Each structure stands twice: as C-alpha cells, then as structure tokens.
Structure 1
Amino acid sequence: MERVLRIRQHTRRGERAPHKPLLLLLALARFQQDGGRPIPFSAAEQPLRRLLDEFGPPRSTSPAYPFHHLTNDDAIWVVDTMDGPGSPGPVLGRLRTPGVQGRFHPELAEALTADPSLVAQLARALLEANFEPSLHDDICQEIGLELDGIGLPARTERLLPPRDPAFRLQVLEAYEFCCAFCGYEGWLNGTAVGLDAAHLQWRSYGGPDSMGNGLCLCSLHHRLLDRGVLGMARDHTIAVSRKFVGRTPSAVTQVKDLSGRPVREPQSGLPTPEPDHVDWHTAQVFRSPARAAA
C-alpha cells in the first residue's frame, strides 16, 4: 500500500498529474476481470486516453507517459517487448509496436493474487489520494472496477490527507443550506439532502478543509464543479465550460444559464472563497474556455 501511494508523480508549478494513478486503476480493474494477464499497449491506449481526458488535468497528455514512466517506480510496473523486459520509451510509435505490453511487477501480482481484497483496497487508496469523492464512482464505472464495499485498512489512513469532520457542517451552515450556484435547498425529516461541502482546491492536492476553500453546492453542481464543467471566476461569478454540450431545457436552465451569474455569498462576516483556491481550480480542473455570460 505504501509503495503504491508513494509513486513519483510529475510536478511542475503545482500542476495536477494523476496519470500514473489512472493507469494503475485501469490495470487493477483488468486484474480483477482477467486475473492479471499482461495488457498490450494497443489495448490500453484508448481507455487510458479517455481516462486522462475525463479525469486528468485540462491540458492534453499522451497515454505513453504513464505507461512508460511507471516502470521507474519501485516494483510496481513492468513493460515487455518482443525482446524481453524493458520499455521502449515514452513514445507512442514505439509503444504501438506489436508485442509491447504492461503488467504488474511479480511481487505486486503475487500479493494481489494471494489477497483478492487488495485490489479494492489499493483502488480506494488511489482514489482517495488523487481525486475528489464525487468522482470515485464515475472512474470505477468507466473502467469496470468493482469495490464491493471494501474499505481501507486503518493503517492506510496515515498515508492520506486528513479530513476535518466538521468541514461539511461549517460550510453548509455558512451558506444557510443553499446551493451557492442555483439556490437549491431540500430537507427530509429535518436533515438537509442533496447538499455537499465542495472543495475548490482538492484535498489531494493541498486544498484545506477551510471556509476559504469551500462552497455549499447541490449534488449536481458539486459533481459538475469537480468534472470541470463549472467553475468560479475571480469576480465570484459562475463559469461554464464552452466544451459542455446540453440541449434539453433542463441542461440549459441548470447549467448553461448559470454562466456569469454571481455565486451566492456566505453569511456576513464569514470567509469567502480565496483567490488562490479559485485560481487552482481554474488552472487544474476547469475545462477552459468559459462560455459568454448568459
């Protein structure tokens, strides 16, 4: 578990780089489905590209990079060619050569075979360490990964960013249990339903559980924020990605028409979203460019 969570990830100016975790999640799903047979690059290229497009940073990245560079981490990943073990490099043309395939290092493959629950445990740890919770189900559905309700071992918690259990209630109370984007509020037997405390800068990338990094959002707009469909401009207006396509009346009223609207402010005297966290989301998650104001 420690070895997988400590894989080296490319960092430059604080950019988000979940490329290796996405490859590992794809490989874990394949291990769960077929018992760990090697994955030809030709079979991994398109699924990995889609994962990078959907859940990676806004910039375009080649699936060749994680497929090759994960071999540099300790006893995690091996790439074979027709001539034997050894990656031909992070170049698409070379990796597309017949016979190039990736597989888990024998030590890791043996551990996964000996303990079937380890697949789900590693997957949960990778998801927690690299993605907001609203994206976990989407990623698992995309790759066909079954977690079967298996949680993390207690000892793993120390390897992940700590959570503040008070954060959610603090944020919801600050926004008076209303979505800061659409104004939705809902209650069932005295309990707020369909409302979340969203992070602008993700916890997995240094975002704190603080009011200056939080927004009260309905479940729909929280998920769209984390997918980069929605964002927030420095003037505290809502940004809607021009890449979003929605033609039905509900898509127009619930998403497109939000463009340029002011974000609901928290109660007087409480912190508003801080510019650094707004800028992080704009650079690392939001799918630019933004639509013109509705």
Structure 2
Amino acid sequence: MDWLERIAKLRQWTRSGARAPHKPLLLLYALGRFQDDADGSLRYTAVEQDLQRLLTEYGPPNKTTPAYPFHHLVSDGVWEVRTDRGSASPGSGIRDLRETGATGQLAPDLRAALRREPDLLGRMARLLLDLHFPPSLHRELCEADSLELELAEAEQLSAIRRQRDRRMRELVLTAYEYRCAFCGYDGRIAAMPVGLEAAHVRWWAFGGPDDIENGLCLCSLHHVLFDKGVLGLGDDQRILVSQRFVGHSPAARDHVIALAGRPLIGPQPGARPVAAVHYDWHARQVFHGEPRPATA
C-alpha cells in the first residue's frame, strides 16, 4: 500500500480554492503523538482543546470544530475511532464524541508500516506540510504538533506534488527592489540580502502560481504574519491589519498595528502588482476577522 499516495489524496471539502486543512492538522497531531507513544490512542475529550487551537490558529477564518476531522478521517483508511462500548465512531457531533468516550488512533496497518519503515513518518509529515501549508509555517507547525523532523532534508516526491519554480524568489525580490513591501526593511550582509523572502499571496499549496503577480517581497516577520492572517492586502493595494491582533508593546504597535491602511512599498515601475484574484483569495481563506481602520 502506498501510504504517501493515500495521504496526498485525503478526501476534503473543496470549492473555489477554499482551504479545508482539518484532516491534515489532525494527522500531523497524531503523527507527533505517535512519535512519543506508538501504542497510545487519543481520547477526544483529552485532545479536543489542542485540536481546536490548531484549527483556530492554522485553519481558515470561518468557525470550525475538531469533531469533524476526528470522525470523517476514518473514511480515508488512515484513522480509526472507537468508543467505550467498542463500537465505531458515533458521528461527527461534539456531544456524541464526548459522551461515548470516543478515542482515535492511526489505522493498524498504518501503525505497522510506520514501525517497519522508520523514515515513513517524516515523509508523510513533510508531504502534509507541503500540500496544505506555506513553508513559513512548517517549523512552527512541527513545534505545535511536537513533531521531530529535519525539514531541510530533500525529498523525492515529485510524482505526488508539483515542483516550485526556483526563479520565483529572485524575480519577486527584484521587482520590489529588495525591500519589504510592508515596512521597507532592506538588510544585507555585504551584497547578500538577509531576512527577506518571496511570499506567495495565494498559497502555492492551493494553486498559487510562481510569478510576480502572486508574490510579495516581505521581511521574515511580516511574511509569517501575512501567512497567519494577521496581515492582508486590500483592493487599493493597501495593507490590512486584523482587529483580532493584540499587541501593547511599542514594537507591536510600530511594526504591526501602524501598518493599517499604508500603501505597499513597490513594486518598481514596470513590474506587475499583485493580481486581485490572488489577494481576494488571501482575504477569504487566510486573513482573520475584520481589518483595523487606517492609522493616522
């Protein structure tokens, strides 16, 4: 059985590029727990808060519940659910899972394969990360799920996932003249830029192309905040800051809150700006809550 192919083909609700990372987040969490205790099961009531936190922080802006993936992942053949009475999953209702003492665990065949092939867990986790999340969040997700992975290790999974265009970074940084489009940061060591990255507006994992119209040059801080939905981009190419972001320090005010309503820095004349189809996707699928009013 090709477990990587099965992971790549998880049944997910999709419509117009909508994000539905519920099952991938549950699987990443379960793989992290498997590393710690290969025989342990996850009682829903014990992990519900952890799973809800992951969905809130890394899922789409709309409200959702961990009960959904806990029940429906069974249909993909990689997960099993049992109750205190020994029966199968009682359904996707929170109350059903709580009252029946439902527990979940990686499917027996998958657990056996993970024991036989020590590197399979890392390959599965990296595939889930690549297919559903931008690289700026990979390390943070591993830490949140207690996954011990070497993220720099090269993988040969080209038959399962499409390949990135390695020219993307240079094209985007050149278009924005090696300055963060949000704050103007342009740090270098000798001739080499440091802390500047090419951010996909529409995530590569969700069909975002590797071109200038889908890219922003951002400093490392603003790249992560952009990918977590704290920052966004409005119709007039002005920066959006989520009302859900809270920060009282001068640094939080100066580097985040004060960006509300500011125009982007760049791109340089002749370079194409971010296309509406891409920043509209980001506003629907990544940006959290309502934007703050522009600062004076």
TM tier, smaller:
over 0.9
In structure 1, the partner of 2:97 is 95
Distance 1:240 1:101 in 2: 39
Q: Are the aligned partners of 1:201 and 1:278 in contact in 2 as well (CA < 8 Å)?
A: yes
Distance 2:16 2:171 in 1: 31
In structure 1, the partner of 2:20 is 17
Deviation digits for residues 98-154 of structure 1 (CA, Å, limit 9, x no counterpart): 431111111101011112222121111100110000011111111211104573541
In structure 2, the partner of 1:38 is 41
Residue type at the aligned position of 1:247? H
In structure 2, the partner of 1:264 is 265
Distance 2:172 2:38 in 1: 44
Q: Are the aligned partners of 2:214 and 2:274 in contact in 1 as well (CA < 8 Å)?
A: yes
In structure 1, the partner of 2:66 is 63
The alpha-carbon distance between structure 1 residues 268 and 219, as it changes in their structure 2 partners (threshold 3 A), is same
Distance 1:168 1:5 in 2: 26
The alpha-carbon distance between structure 1 residues 220 and 278, as it changes in their structure 2 partners (threshold 3 A), is same
The alpha-carbon distance between structure 1 residues 179 and 27, as it changes in their structure 2 partners (threshold 3 A), is same
2:119 is equivalent to residue 117 of structure 1: yes
Aligned residues: 292
SS at match of 1:252: helix
2:10 is equivalent to residue 7 of structure 1: yes
The alpha-carbon distance between structure 1 residues 150 and 118, as it changes in their structure 2 partners (threshold 3 A), is farther
2:79 is equivalent to residue 77 of structure 1: yes
Q: Tell me the TM-score normalized by structure 2.
A: 0.96
The alpha-carbon distance between structure 1 residues 151 and 24, as it changes in their structure 2 partners (threshold 3 A), is same
In structure 2, the partner of 1:47 is 50
Q: Are the aligned partners of 1:129 and 1:161 in contact in 2 as well (CA < 8 Å)?
A: no
Distance 1:152 1:35 in 2: 26
- Stretches of structure 1 that go unaligned for 5 or more consecutive residues are none
Q: Are the aligned partners of 2:213 and 2:275 in contact in 1 as well (CA < 8 Å)?
A: yes
The counterpart of 2:141, out of the listed 139, 142, 159, is: 139
In structure 1, the partner of 2:249 is 248
Deviation digits for residues 36-75 of structure 1 (CA, Å, limit 9, x no counterpart): 31111112211110000000000010110000011111x2
In structure 1, the partner of 2:220 is 219
In structure 2, the partner of 1:291 is 292
In structure 2, the partner of 1:29 is 32
Deviation digits for residues 214-242 of structure 1 (CA, Å, limit 9, x no counterpart): 00000100010000000000100000000
RMSD: 1.2
Distance 1:163 1:85 in 2: 44
- Give 1:226-241 correspondences, 5 Å limit: 226-241=227-242
SS at match of 1:162: coil
SS at match of 1:96: helix
Q: Are the aligned partners of 2:38 and 2:111 in contact in 1 as well (CA < 8 Å)?
A: no
C-alpha deviation, 1:181, in angstroms: 0.5
In structure 2, the partner of 1:185 is 186
Deviation digits for residues 233-267 of structure 1 (CA, Å, limit 9, x no counterpart): 01000000000011111110100000000011212
Q: Are the aligned partners of 2:45 and 2:101 in contact in 1 as well (CA < 8 Å)?
A: no
Distance 2:155 2:219 in 1: 31
SS at match of 1:196: strand
- Stretches of structure 2 that go unaligned for 5 or more consecutive residues are none
Deviation digits for residues 193-228 of structure 1 (CA, Å, limit 9, x no counterpart): 100000110011110001100000001000100000
Distance 1:228 1:277 in 2: 14
Residue type at the aligned position of 2:49? Q
